[in-house]
């Protein structure tokens, strides 16, 4: 791992990293995040009784769509050939937790795609619960693990 900023030229200007010299390898990344809300709202999310309708299916589709559009949303991200996207949405006492795993066979990793999926999934949950809890909080969006590539595997402690 290097401390160099790869998206910066020596003159300080931003640029898209040239990955043409890298090998095509199988890569994956998982990110997660949570929407903290009241326990009664969590119950309504999972029993489908909120005014805007089916939260879980809508958030899952939103996360998948976001993963597929990451290169359009995040400057300097490479468009990648995605080979798989998994979205898991779990229930906690006071939270809805979203985990997104993205897979590719490419020259660069999919951490940004996983983070984008979690972020948009969480925003969708918030949008669908805000009528009953405007104080809900999106929190702890982070990469949990990555596999493949030159730097190998990494897991959050």
CB 97 within 8 A of CB 28: no
Q: How far apart are CA 58 and CA 54, in angstroms?
A: 6
Helices 39-47 + 55-68 axis angle, to 10:
80
Which position among 18, 94, 127, 133 bears the catalytic label?
Answer: 127
CB burial class (10 A; 0-12, 13-18, 19+) of residue 78? Answer: middle
Determine whether 127 is an active site residue: yes
Q: How far apart are CA 50 and CA 136, in angstroms?
A: 14
Element (H, E) at 26: strand 25-36
- Tokens read off for 80: 């990648």
Which residues are designated catalytic? Answer: 127
């Amino acid at each position: 791992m290097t401390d160099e900023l790869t998206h910066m030229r020596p003159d300080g200007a931003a640029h898209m990293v040239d990955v043409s010299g890298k090998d095509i390898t199988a890569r994956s990344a998982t990110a997660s995040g949570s929407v903290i809300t009241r326990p009664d709202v969590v119950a309504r999310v999972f029993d489908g009784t909120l005014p805007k309708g089916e939260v879980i299916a809508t958030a899952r589709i939103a996360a998948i769509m976001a993963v597929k559009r990451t290169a359009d949303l995040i400057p300097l991200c490479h468009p990648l050939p995605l080979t798989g996207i998994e979205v898991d949405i779990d229930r906690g006492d006071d939270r809805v937790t979203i985990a997104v795993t993205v897979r590719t066979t490419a020259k660069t990793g999919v951490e940004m795609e996983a983070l984008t999926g979690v972020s948009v999934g969480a925003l969708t949950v918030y949008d669908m619960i805000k009528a009953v809890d405007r104080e809900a909080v999106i929190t702890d969006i982070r990469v949990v693990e990555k596999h493949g590539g030159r730097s190998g595997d990494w897991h959050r402690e």
